[in-house]
Structure 1
Amino acid sequence: MASSGSYGPVSQNEARAVVQAAIEAGGCLIDTADVYADGDSERLIGSLLSNSEGALVATKVGLVRDPTSPYGVDIVGRPEYLREAVQNAARRLAVPHIDVVFLHRIDHRVPIEESVGCLSDMVAEGHVRGVGISEASVDSILRAHATHPLSAVQSEYSLWSRDVDSSGALNVLQELQVPFIASSPLGKGFLTGALKWPPSEGAKDSRQKLPRFAQESYLANRSMLPTLRGVAERLDASMAQVALAWVAAKQPRTVAIPATRRVERLLENLASEQVQLDAADVSLLDESFATVRVAGERYADMTFVNR
């Protein structure tokens, strides 16, 4: 996400510095998508991979630009499209095969067995090593896994976004022993406590389209932050580090992938591994965020997720 441009413009130098620092940290997961910056995110990552060792690269396919859509994209799960999209992604990443390819969203117009079956064929052909799906319902997870063993499932998960918990998806993944990748574990920046909102006039920021970041909702949701801030101060950690430590404490077999545009924030996030929350801390944060109802949905159209 460092070079996706979702949260405003990012210079190539800034994006390269973040990705390079992540690679140098060693043993990292680099997550991107073909739709991020219209492929430029994959190109940038590909330009840096040749000198890397141990970096696991995952990309997502299945979203295409659509100016008629509220979010500017449409979901496409047709096998012929997915095959071409994966081939194009591999070229941009400059790799002979991609470690994990995710369906970015589930296309209900196409049986998931056909979409996942296409990626399964590409595993057999050596183009892809692992198959994943994103923002999927329990039914979709079970059907996809029956078609091809899933390497991972990715969905938004954080202190203020627990859809995959309430839907039962996390329990199913534990039963299947499928790793879970938590996207937006910092609540798209909200849980850092440092988000300056709204952005300056004229700034392009995808969060402006999200109900939770509407001015009234944003102000109401800030009442959730004092407890998180208090735990962070007591542990001599940042709010972001505590939010990431909460994700790690809540779910086994989970990898959090916080987005960042700054090297210093990347290093801060990586240092969250040193933050240990005890059961009382986890319970306190759980209760604090459960007591106050989150104002605003994740998306204006929630049929876009949990598919």
Structure 2
Amino acid sequence: MPQLMGKDVGPTGFGLMGMTWRPHPQPMEESFKAMKASIEEGNIFWNAGEFYGTPDYNSLHLLKAYFTKYPEDASKIVLSIKGALKDMHPDGSPEGIKRSVENCLKVLDGKKSIDIFEPARVDKNVPIETTLKALEEYVKAGKIGGISLSEVSAATIQRAVKVTKIVAVEVELSLWSLDVLNNGVAAACAEHNIPLVAYSPIGRGILTGEIQKPEDIPEGDFRRMLPRFQPENFEKNMDLVRKLQDIASKKGCTPAQLAISWVRHLSKKNGNPDIIPIPGATKAERVRENAKDVGLTSSESEAIESILKGFEVQGGRYGGPGAAHMEG
């Protein structure tokens, strides 16, 4: 069982991103039910962001409201918060770290401690050593429990571990985002016994099979801006989805369960570190669905590997400014 901050966090985490957080007037009670279900399923690693929403109402406000209503749950959860962005650009300066951490603590209002804080992206204008030393002061002061990294290169991991203890590394990993398995990131995490937190394990929803054409993505959804969801790439990428749907259908599980179980079962295999997928969900029933490990037989694993070897995903993971903030 993967451990974070001294706790068994369950084989699947819970991403409180846009999938759980909803703008007003979405009733918080629906989100609360999903959050409760996550605890009931034993998935107690929660991942949120200072920027998941607006400055006046984001995932931190949702967390404050939840732990105000259910204070008994605060000690059960390992909470990781992403921040250190200014106007959606990385700010890893000591001033930027101070602004972000202090703001997160202010919004949470003591209802839940920050177990892990992670800069959402590497600030290419500030040495990672400077960023981490600023965060380490908050660890020493007891204001955050530990430091994580997000979307970093293997080289940055190697630099970071020389400065402070890194408790996790968050990266995108799914059946259509395999980069970290091949670019040294997973290997660096394994070398230093750092759990890898896999966001978007169902490929930003594409691997559920519920999105059949670009028009199925709601207006205003940021996925409409991502290269992989553009019309010239979308249909080619659907070839992978359809092949995986066929395996899921024969197995008697949902495509999402297949995708999440595949990520989960990468843990400790082929030199990998512990891997914790963090799917998001809006409803309790979807949380329970995602938490079910359907297992993979050797023949199913081989079939999936064969599909992946014969398929090249079309389009980058991010475009525009988002791509500019990626390492590597």
TM-score normalised per structure 1: 0.90
One-letter code of the match for 1:100? I
Structure 2 counterpart SS, 1:221: helix
Q: Looking at both structures, which has the greater relative contact order when contacts are Cα pairs under 8 Å and sequence separation is at least 6?
A: 2
Q: 1:240 aligns with which of 256, 276, 290?
A: 256
Q: Name the CA distance, whole Å, in 1 between partners of 2:220 and 2:95.
A: 33
Q: 1:31 to 1:145 in 2, by over 3 A?
A: same
| Match of residue 10 from structure 2 | none
CA RMSD of aligned residues (A): 2.2
Structure 1 counterpart SS, 2:317: coil
- Deviation, structure 1 residue 6: 9.7
Matched, 1:185 2:204: no
Q: Name the CA distance, whole Å, in 2 between partners of 1:9 and 1:125.
A: 34
| Match of residue 18 from structure 2 | 4
Q: 1:51 aligns with which of 61, 72, 84?
A: 72
Alignment of 1:159-198 (within 5 A): 159-198=175-214
Q: 1:36 to 1:7 in 2, by over 3 A?
A: closer
Matched, 1:63 2:79: no
- Deviation, structure 1 residue 22: 2.2
Q: 1:261 aligns with which of 258, 275, 282?
A: 282
Q: Name the CA distance, whole Å, in 1 between partners of 2:94 and 2:213.
A: 41
Q: Name the CA distance, whole Å, in 2 between partners of 1:291 and 1:248.
A: 22
One-letter code of the match for 2:65? S
Q: Name the CA distance, whole Å, in 1 between partners of 2:151 and 2:291.
A: 24
Instruction: Identify the structure with the greater helix proportion.
Output: 1
| Match of residue 6 from structure 2 | none
Q: Name the CA distance, whole Å, in 1 between partners of 2:84 and 2:43.
A: 27
Deviation digits for residues 100-125 of structure 1 (CA, Å, limit 9, x no counterpart): 00110000100000101111111111
Contact (CA 8 Å) 1:7, 1:206: kept in 2 or not?
no
| Match of residue 277 from structure 1 | 296
- Deviation, structure 1 residue 195: 2.0
| Match of residue 304 from structure 1 | 325
Q: Name the CA distance, whole Å, in 2 between partners of 1:249 and 1:204.
A: 34
- Deviation, structure 1 residue 199: 4.3
Structure 1 counterpart SS, 2:147: strand
- Deviation, structure 1 residue 227: 2.7
One-letter code of the match for 1:62? A
- Deviation, structure 1 residue 298: 0.6
| Match of residue 7 from structure 2 | none
| Match of residue 227 from structure 1 | 243
- Deviation, structure 1 residue 279: 2.9
Q: Name the CA distance, whole Å, in 2 between partners of 1:60 and 1:4.
A: 13
One-letter code of the match for 2:135? L
More deviation, 136-145/81-90: 81-90
Q: 2:161 aligns with which of 139, 145, 169?
A: 145
Figure out how many residues of one structure are paired with residues of the other and give that number: 298
Q: Name the CA distance, whole Å, in 2 between partners of 1:195 and 1:18.
A: 22
More deviation, 7-16/290-299: 7-16
Q: Name the CA distance, whole Å, in 2 between partners of 1:43 and 1:7.
A: 10
- Deviation, structure 1 residue 26: 3.7
